[in-house]
Each structure stands twice: as C-alpha cells, then as structure tokens.
Structure 1
Amino acid sequence: MRQPTVGTSPTYSLDDDEVPWVLGTQLTEQCGPLARAPEGSRVLLIEAHDFARRMPYHHHKLTLVFAAMRQLRDRLREAGYDVRYIEADSFGDAFTEFFTENPETTLVTMRSPSYGSARRFRDLVEEADGDLRVVENELFVSTREAFEAWAGDDEQFRHESFYRWMRQETGVLMADGDPVGGEWNYDEQNREFPPEGWDAPAVPTPDHDDLTRETADWVADTFDTWGREDEFVWPVTRKQACEQLDHSLTHRLPEFGPYQDAMRSEDWAMSHALLSGALNIGLLHPIEVVEAIEDAYHRREEVGLASAEGCIRQILGWREFMRHVYRRAMPELATANQLDATHSLPDFYWTGDTEMNCLSETVEDVRDHGYSHHIQRLMVLANFATLWGVEPAELNEWFHAAYVDAYHWVTTPNVVEMGQYGHGVFASKPYVSSANYVEEMSDYCEGCVYDPDSDTGEDACPFNALYWDFLDRNEEPLRSNHRMGLMYGHVDNKRDAGSMADLREQVAEMREAAADGDL
C-alpha cells in the first residue's frame, strides 16, 4: 500500500456494510478504501456528466477522465469485484440511485483536495438518505497535519523552505543530512536552450483499445468540447501510466534538466515527463515517481543531478506545496485580485488567432494536446494575461478547462497566485517580464512579425509596452516591494526621458487592435 511518508498516515479498516467509492481523480488500488477492501467486495464509481457541461473542457481532458474510469471499472470486474458503475447527470442523482438500492450501506471515500468537496458530498449523500465516511487522501507525499505542524500560524509561505523540509523529511537526494551534491537545487543549470540539431525524445503513444476510442467518440458527440479530438496520447490505465513513467526515465529524464525552461517552436513536449495527467487522477503515486527518479540518478550515469533534482522538485516540492497552500488560502484565493485586474481574457486564448508567435504557438500546443509545459504556462500565458490586466479568476477558469492535468486545487494557486500575483500567500513578487525572457528562452521571436527589441511602433513586441504599463499602473502596491526596486528605477528613467506617455499610447492602440482581432 502506498501512503504519505511525511506525517502520520491514516490507519483504518472497512466494515462489512462499507463500500469504497472511487472518485474519478483517485483511480488507484494502491491506497485508500479500495486498497483496504477485500478482493471481490463491492465498489462504487460515479460517472457524473453535469460538470463536463459547465465549460468547454478540452476534449482530451474529458476523454482522459472518463476513459480511465471505465478502464478501472472493467479491470476491477475482471478481477472479481462487484462494481456498481453509475452514469448520471449529477452526483446527487447517482447517490439517490445507489442508496435506493443499498439503504444500509455507508460509502467510504478519500477526501478530494478541491475545497469544500467533502462538505458538498456529505450534503448530497444526506439528501439521498445515505451515509458517507470521508478518509484522508493518501495520493500525496505529505499529510495535511504534517504541513500544519511545519507552517504553524504563518499566513505566508515560501516554496524553497518547504521543499528543503520535504527533502529532509523524506531523505530524498540527501546524504548524512545534507543535500546530495551540496546544493538544494540546480535551477541555474535548468536554463539552457538546446543547440541546433538537437532532437527531443519521441512522445510515447499508448496503444489505446476500443473502449478508449469509443469513449473519445462519445465525448465528442455528447459535450461541447474545445481542442483537438484526435492524437490522444495520454495513459488511461495503470499499465499505460507505468509504461509512460519507464519511457520518461529512459528517454526524457537525461536531458530534462538543462532544457526544462526552454521553449521551442513545434516541440510541445521537449523533454518533459508528461506524467502530470496520470498523477492527478491517481494512476501513478507521487512517491513511486520520486523514488524512480532518484533511483535512475543513482544507477544511470546519463541522468545528471540537475535533471533528477529538477524533476523531483516539481513533484516533491511544487506539487505538494500547491496542494497545501491552496487549502490554507481558500476560499479567498479563488477570487483574489490584489492588483485589481479587470480586463477580460483575449479571445486568442481560445482561438490562437494572434500575430504574437509565442502566444499563437503555445495556444496551439494546448489546443492540440491539452498541455504545455510550466514555463509556457507561467512566462507566456500567465505573463501576458497579468500584463494585460486579466481578472485572475477568468484566467484560472481557462486553465481549468484547457489542460488535461488541471484541477481546481492545482490551477488556483498556480494561476491566481504564482501566475498573476493575486493573493500574496506565497508569491513574493509578480512573475512578469518584457519580451527579453521569451527571446532568451525560446525561438518564438525568430519567426514573429513583432520586434522583441522595440517598445513602441507598429512592429514593437506587445510584451514590452505592456510590461512598462503594468509597472506604471501598479506602482502603488509594487514600488515598496524590495524585489521590484531595480525595475522601478528603470520606470523612473523612462518617465524622466518622457517615454512613458508613448508607452501608454502604444498599449491603448494594442487594446483597440485586440478588440478588433488584429493583435
């Protein structure tokens, strides 16, 4: 059984009248109620459809969830379990149906990390005259109680401190109490751009069966989806997820480290692991992934420390951190907007119809695969939206709909806080930049109609004027930030030179162009 290793894992058993209820984001037999149920016992899965109609989710996201649920259903049945699989418009309808058939039964499920879900499920079960027991979620490395003990009464948190604590608590990449290699992270070695002629590893393509293909067709016919409907490359079974992990360790991890921040045209995957979708629905456990990466570093010479540590930091550090700060900052985090951003999300986040090559190509990556890597998310999509002044909740909704690995608990802190500096719970400054960053870390600018070195003029890159306009209009909340002092020195220089008025005019013209679909 897989359980968190930081903190005290839950111990419990199931009575004869208790039935494991497996959520669509907890599709595992490694932990939770299903891991404790005897073989052949009753199991409930609910395929509720109303959530899929709330927004135009990516076709691949809905296919991933529904196909993975159906695959687990069939595998459990083949193993002899008595699986009750209810397809319904809503969870409430499904509970009514289940408890009408099983009035003396108590459902047992792991807590969803999404805020308020346990309370909502309890209310729905109560309305159906049923009983529900919610147990702790074991699909993370650390427990809620462990984080509470580490955080204490603090209201602001820093990822680096949390990450070091997690390394110490787990012993991952540690030697005699010190980090292997003498440094806690090798971020400085993660910022190279691949040389000309470098070929990214081939993207693994699972051999999907008729059930998955039929589910993909059903999703297309049933829901108002966004994104490409073919080229579905995501694992939907435990076996496929393990094969993808093995592929990543062998072919992708060795070169992940140096190029993890790089962005390249027509190369949507680079050397990224592509495991987040499987992790976030429970097909893989984060502990097994971290252990496999650490083992690959120790056993294989071609896996460098910067690659292993960089990948582990994403899972052991960032993913765990997101889960906990989300829980601590909700519900305020969902609507946080400390910079008072009020603009709507430009249409090209859905269409990709923009002359800005970096945005057009990134949106195309997301539309085609339901995925782009973390730097595209932060320094292209979120960066532009923050400079444009998009309301954080609207950008968060787009991410939630567009990505195969997106769930409220992970998008909200990543988008609202890290991406748009909406709350202050952990971001120490806005993560924004002019065109300089995109030009340095990508080849997008080479084929773009806009000039990354110009601030104003017809061919000036929009990122530049927007960057200075952002600093100008947010001076009151940001100038006192000690990490922004250098930038406001440059703002002062532009004001003294009389160029700020030209930058404001440039931004006004860009907003008009965007409204006409001509940006």
Structure 2
Amino acid sequence: MSDDSVLWLLGDQLNPDLDALSDADAVLLIEAHGFADRKPYHAHKLTLVFSAMRHFRDRLRDRGHDVTYLRAESFGDGLDRFFGEEFAGAPGDADLRLMRPASHGAGDRFRELVAERGGSLELLDNELFWTTPADWHEWAGEPDGEAAGLIVGEDGSADRRYRQENWYRHVRRETGVLMDGDEPVGGEWNYDDLNRETPPDDWEPPERPRFDPDDLTRETHAWVRERFDTWGSDSLDGFAWPVTRGEARAALDAFVRDRLPSFGRYEDAMVEGEPFLSHSLLSPAINLGLLNPREPVRAVEVAYEDRGVEPGAYDPEEDGGIDPNATPLDDFGSGRASVAGAAPVPLNAAEGFVRQVLGWREFTRHVYREAMPALAAANRLEQSADLPPAYWDGDTDMRCLSEAVGHVREHGYAHHVERLMVLSNVALLYGTDPAELNEWFHLGFVDAYHWVTTPNVVAMGSFGTDVLSSKPYAASGSYVNRMSDYCASCPYAVSRTTGEGACPLNALYWDFLAENEETLRGTGRMGLMYSHLDDKSDSELAAIRERASTVRKLAADGEL
C-alpha cells in the first residue's frame, strides 16, 4: 500500500483552510455531471457549483497542493479514472480520506465505490458543521456516538420529536455565543417578537453585494447553458453569488457592515419587487463550504460587541446611512468590519441571525441524519396532488405566489419567509405531494441540498411528519397581508373567503383544516384555529369547500 494520503473533497466542501488539508499529500476533486442530466436544475445553481469547484481547484494549486481534478458523468466513473489512469501510484494503492458527506448514505456508498476499485476510504468528521453527531447524541440523552434509533412511521408520526428552541439554548451555552456567563446576553434567548415589522414605503434596503463573473465563471456558465437543460433564468446578468472564498468573505463583511443593522426588524417582511431586503445572502457560500459556519456567527457576535445596542433600539428608517468613504478594517473577514458611520447592531438582529445558523442550520442537519431515509417519503397528511404549473412558470394572478416564484426563477433564491409561508404554505393548502415540492426546492434554489430541503420542506413546510414541529405552518391570506405589501396590488381580495375574486388562500386554509381535522385537531397549538372552524355554519363551510375546489381546479389548469 502506498504511503500517499489523498484527501477527496466534494463540491460542498470547498474550504482551503480545512484541518484535513494540512496532512494530505494530494487532493482529489471529481466534478460529476450526471445528476444535472436527470433533472432541470436552475442554471445559476449549476454555474455556482461548478464555477466554485473550478476556482477552488485553482486556489489549492496556487497554494502548492497536488490536485487531481476529474470531470466525469458519475463519481464511479471518476474513481475508475483516478485509480486506473490518474493516480501516480499503482492502481488501488491510494488511501483516500473524505469528510463525511451531509447527504444520507453518501459516505457509505462512496466507501463501497472505492473498495470495489481496490482502495480504502476513511470517513472523517465534517468540519463544515459546528456541531458533531456526538454533540447531538449527548444533548438528546443518548450514548456518545450511537444513533438515536428515530423511526418515522408510515403515517408520518415520529417516535421521537425534537424542538429547535431546546437545542438552540443548549448549543448557545456550549459555544458561549451571545452569552453572559450562564445567561443569554440581554436576558432573553429569543427576540422574534421584535423581528416582525414591515418596512415603510419609502425605505430602501441596502444594496446587494455583487461579484462580477470572471472569465472562468463566464466559461462555466456558457458550458452549463450548452450542456444541460436548465430551469429559471439562464442570463448571467443577474448572477451575483460569490464563487471563491475571498468573495464569500467580502460578502460576509458587507452583510455585517451594511445589512445586519436592519436585518432583525424586517427579517420576516415581504416587499414587492425586493427579493433580498436585508437578508445575509450567505447560505450559498456556507453550504458550499466557502465559509465555515463559525465565521458568520462569530462575525455577527463581534459586530454586536463593537456596535451593539439594546433590542429594537435602532430604527433603520431614521438611519443616516453608511459613510461612502469609509473602508473596512484590515482584519478582513473577521467580522470587524466596523467602519466610520456604520449603523449600530441591535441585539434582536444579532440574535436572529445566530439562531438561523447556529440554531436552525445545525438542528435540521441532525434531524435529517436521525430521521432518514423515512423522512424523505414522510406524508402524514397523505397529500398527493402534482405541483401547480405556476411553480414552474410563475404565471398566476396571486401576487404573493408570483413574487416568490419570480424570485426563484430570476435568482435561484427566495428568503426564508417566502419559502415557508408562501411557497410551502400554498403547496400545503393545495395538497401537493411533499416529495414533489421537496424536489422543486432542490432544483430551483442555489443553496439547496438534500439535507437542507428535506427537513425544511417535507417536515416543516409540508408537515409530512411531526419530528420537528408540533403543527403545520399553514396560514390564510391574513398572514400574507400582515407581513407584506402584496395584497394591496393583488387582484384577489384578501378580505373575502368565498365567491369569485376571493383570496385563494382563505378558502384553501379553512378547507385544509376541515379536510385534516382528524389528524390536526388534537395537535399542539391548533385548538384556537379549530374553535374558529367550529363557529362556521354548515352553509358557510359548504361555500368554502366549493371555493376551494374551484381554486384547486384553476391552479391545476394554470389559470389561477
């Protein structure tokens, strides 16, 4: 056996500062294309992934690493070439090491592929998550290193249930993030009640950071357009995602400096014509590995230490703006992008972002590990409808849906409230098969991977299982009206439930509750909604069911 140690890195492990790289004699990267032949992915997603991989290859070579970069239809084909042709030693003489992939079963499948070719594969802890499976098992009260034995039954019910808030508080204590000894900074764990405002008409969000595509990205994009059948915009004009670690760190500094101050207050808002608002836009870089999740969390924590104010104390509507002549400090990418004239960071903004990354991202990754493979097929409410055509073409008079789908078609992105309370909510009330909705998210979003979408879409958005939420996130038009300005320009009347021209969400919502009463009435926090349903007369319910039926037919026919 050769003494060479080869580190195999995947396309979502693109961090040049990994500890695993320090003692690797060589690096293997396989750019596998077959997955993109099978389904119509968003052109920006494919461009982002393949361009980031190719830039990463060049960065490693510039730093002196011996990199084998193979383009192949599948990982198996790539390994055939590696062991048969590309590897400097004799075939089968490579000891490969790989950070355990996030997708279910991928590590074991890759180990089998390597073994079939005479090699060996050691699976390492994945450095691009903050917490480990052992951390999770300890928190859950299980023996260190052992699986939870979580079972999701055929009816979608889980034999164990996890709640993010409990995990979030635990991991804050363990990491010390935004902590004052044993207590949270500010005395509260959660400032959600301060993060539900909608901005006034004259407020303009900070400019989105842009990274002009270089020659390699342009070459990659042209190849993607020629090579694959894609979905969504295939114009490079709207592509502005970071494809290198340097760009990702610049995006982090831009968020901390310019967008974080107003992020919290307007975190849940939806505004017509504004896909990004003050959101960080860092999830693609984090999920590719260009940023380690510790970096944005610590950067936000440092920003709060430098510029922090009490929760809700900063009003972005009264802000004088950022000094255009100011520049970040030399400590680039550290979060110390405190510049002259930079706005203060309220605690509700810092905590809200930390909860997204340190809390929710880590939580859903572990729930995915524990609940797969049953999680992917969970369908507690037995939903079976095909996704309406509007999700593919954006052609609908429903302003909330056309806006959200339009954002995905144009940018491969929509922020978290649009994902949950519009895109998932409409599909849930309509009766869409959770697996089909999950695939749509996976194809369309630049930051989507199976481990990301499955718990968020199947479990949370579709309530396919109760493993991580006690109730479905279902809402009528009143929620959209409260959190957005969409309803003001929508031809459907949000104030009406039945009859032609009534908001489709209203009838779908009450029909959804009636249809799933046996499963949902006793579910946590649903009692109030069912008390309202009980107040409706038989004639009113009949009109609701008739309107809901009409809405579903219009949606199925692409005429909603």
TM-score range, shorter chain: over 0.9
- 2:332 corresponds to: none
On the 8 A contact 1:32/1:137 being kept in 2, the answer is no
How many percent of aligned residue pairs carry the same amino acid? 56
Residue 4 of structure 2 corresponds to residue 48 of structure 1: no
Deviation, structure 1 residue 32: 4.7
- 2:63 corresponds to: 79
- 1:401 corresponds to: 443
Residue 271 of structure 2 corresponds to residue 264 of structure 1: yes
1:165 to 165, 170, 178: 170
Q: 1:412-448 CA distances to partner (integer Å, 9 max, x unpaired)?
A: 0000011011111111100111000000000111111
- 1:10 corresponds to: none
The whole-number CA distance in structure 1 between the counterparts of 2:16 and 2:62 is 14
Range 144-153 or range 431-440, more displaced: 144-153
Deviation, structure 1 residue 512: 2.1
1:91 maps to a residue whose letter is F
- 2:341 corresponds to: none
On the 8 A contact 2:471/2:524 being kept in 1, the answer is no
The whole-number CA distance in structure 2 between the counterparts of 1:244 and 1:164 is 28
Residue 278 of structure 2 corresponds to residue 278 of structure 1: no
Q: 1:99-134 CA distances to partner (integer Å, 9 max, x unpaired)?
A: 113321111110011100011111222222222111
Give the alignment of 1:168-317 within 5 angstroms.
168-229=173-234, 230=236, 231-301=238-308, 302-317=344-359
On the 8 A contact 2:16/2:60 being kept in 1, the answer is no
- 2:323 corresponds to: none
The whole-number CA distance in structure 1 between the counterparts of 2:538 and 2:75 is 61
2:18 to 31, 34, 57: 31
The whole-number CA distance in structure 1 between the counterparts of 2:212 and 2:531 is 56
- 2:470 corresponds to: 428
Partner SS, residue 236 of structure 1: coil
The whole-number CA distance in structure 1 between the counterparts of 2:37 and 2:271 is 34
2:4 maps to a residue whose letter is D
Residue 498 of structure 2 corresponds to residue 498 of structure 1: no
The whole-number CA distance in structure 2 between the counterparts of 1:310 and 1:357 is 27
The whole-number CA distance in structure 1 between the counterparts of 2:29 and 2:380 is 40
On the 8 A contact 2:470/2:524 being kept in 1, the answer is no
On the 8 A contact 2:389/2:557 being kept in 1, the answer is no
On the 8 A contact 2:195/2:266 being kept in 1, the answer is yes
Partner SS, residue 350 of structure 1: helix
2:135 maps to a residue whose letter is A
- 1:414 corresponds to: 456
Give the alignment of 1:60-79 within 5 angstroms.
60-79=44-63
Q: 1:125-164 CA distances to partner (integer Å, 9 max, x unpaired)?
A: 2222222111111111111101011113571100000000
Range 346-355 or range 506-515, more displaced: 506-515
The whole-number CA distance in structure 1 between the counterparts of 2:471 and 2:524 is 9
Residue 373 of structure 2 corresponds to residue 331 of structure 1: yes
The whole-number CA distance in structure 1 between the counterparts of 2:135 and 2:291 is 22
The whole-number CA distance in structure 1 between the counterparts of 2:127 and 2:7 is 14
Range 202-211 or range 311-320, more displaced: 202-211
1:66 maps to a residue whose letter is F
The whole-number CA distance in structure 2 between the counterparts of 1:400 and 1:57 is 8
Deviating above 4 A after TM superposition, structure 1's stretches of 4 or more consecutive aligned residues are none
On the 8 A contact 1:262/1:442 being kept in 2, the answer is yes
Partner SS, residue 121 of structure 2: strand
Deviation, structure 1 residue 452: 0.5
Deviation, structure 1 residue 36: 3.3
- 1:487 corresponds to: 529
The whole-number CA distance in structure 1 between the counterparts of 2:49 and 2:23 is 23
Partner SS, residue 43 of structure 1: strand
Partner SS, residue 392 of structure 2: helix
The whole-number CA distance in structure 1 between the counterparts of 2:177 and 2:516 is 41
1:232 maps to a residue whose letter is F
Deviation, structure 1 residue 80: 2.1
Residue 558 of structure 2 corresponds to residue 517 of structure 1: yes
On the 8 A contact 1:346/1:514 being kept in 2, the answer is yes
Deviation, structure 1 residue 35: 3.6
On the 8 A contact 2:380/2:463 being kept in 1, the answer is yes
Partner SS, residue 499 of structure 1: helix
The whole-number CA distance in structure 2 between the counterparts of 1:32 and 1:25 is 16
Partner SS, residue 476 of structure 1: helix
On the 8 A contact 2:47/2:220 being kept in 1, the answer is yes
Q: 1:72-107 CA distances to partner (integer Å, 9 max, x unpaired)?
A: 111212222221100011110100110113321111
Partner SS, residue 483 of structure 1: coil
1:344 maps to a residue whose letter is D
Deviation, structure 1 residue 497: 5.2
- 1:376 corresponds to: 418
1:118 to 104, 107, 110: 107
On the 8 A contact 1:58/1:226 being kept in 2, the answer is yes
2:510 maps to a residue whose letter is W
**Which has the larger share of helix?**
1
Partner SS, residue 134 of structure 1: strand
The whole-number CA distance in structure 2 between the counterparts of 1:79 and 1:138 is 20
1:285 maps to a residue whose letter is N
- 2:427 corresponds to: 385
1:209 maps to a residue whose letter is D
Partner SS, residue 46 of structure 1: strand
The whole-number CA distance in structure 2 between the counterparts of 1:170 and 1:275 is 21
The whole-number CA distance in structure 1 between the counterparts of 2:102 and 2:19 is 14
On the 8 A contact 2:434/2:462 being kept in 1, the answer is yes
Deviation, structure 1 residue 33: 2.4
Deviation, structure 1 residue 278: 0.2
